[in-house]
């Protein structure tokens, strides 16, 4: 069964450093998403991406964040200068379509720890 994969599973970084979180969505999916979940809190939407551009972003997704689909398979989330409060689990998701059929498949997540 196809699945969304994410690497690394755990990333530890120093405050102020740049990190890139990687995701490989399901191959025939067209819509891609990043979410984060701070420990003990709700899942928060960050950004959705379609046709090589951002389609929606939340207030959390400020200038420190960027997303990219550098090739036909990877989807990345870059945080330019990490802060302590960026420590969270980051989930990538993909879906085949949006609207009437929008089952999102989530990856296992990357746990980001900022020291």
Partner 1 sequence: EDQVTQSPEALRLQEGESSSLNCSYTVSGLRGLFWYRQDPGKGPEFLFTLYSAGEEKEKERLKATLTKKESFLHITAPKPEDSATYLCAVQVTGNQFYFGTGTSLTVIP
* Sites for partner 1 among residues 46-65 (CB under 8 A): 48, 50, 55-56, 58
In this structure, the strands spanning 5-7 and 53-57 are unpaired
Q: What does the per-residue mask of binding to partner 1 show for 81-110, with x meaning CB under 8 A?
A: ----------x-x----xxxxxxxxxxxx-
Distance between CA atoms of residues 52 and 12, nearest Å: 29
Residues 13-52 that bind partner 1 (CB under 8 A): 31, 33, 35, 41-45, 48, 50
Residue 69 binds partner 1, judged by CB under 8 A: no
User: If binding means CB under 8 A, how many residues of this protein chain bind partner 1?
Assistant: 28
Q: How far apart are the first and last CA of the chain?
A: 37
Look at the block and give the residue holding tokens 């709700």: 42
């Amino acid at each position: 069964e196809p699945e969304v994969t994410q690497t690394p599973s755990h990333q530890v970084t120093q405050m102020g450093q740049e990190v890139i979180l990687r995701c490989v969505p399901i191959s025939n999916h067209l819509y891609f998403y990043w979410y984060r979940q701070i420990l003990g809190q709700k899942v928060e939407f960050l950004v959705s991406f379609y046709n090589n551009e951002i389609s929606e972003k939340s207030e959390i997704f400020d200038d420190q964040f960027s997303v990219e689909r550098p090739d036909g398979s990877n989807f990345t989330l870059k945080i330019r200068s990490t802060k302590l409060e960026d420590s969270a689990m980051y989930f990538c998701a993909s879906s085949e379509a949006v609207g009437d059929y929008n089952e999102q498949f989530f990856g296992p997540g990357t746990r980001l720890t900022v020291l």
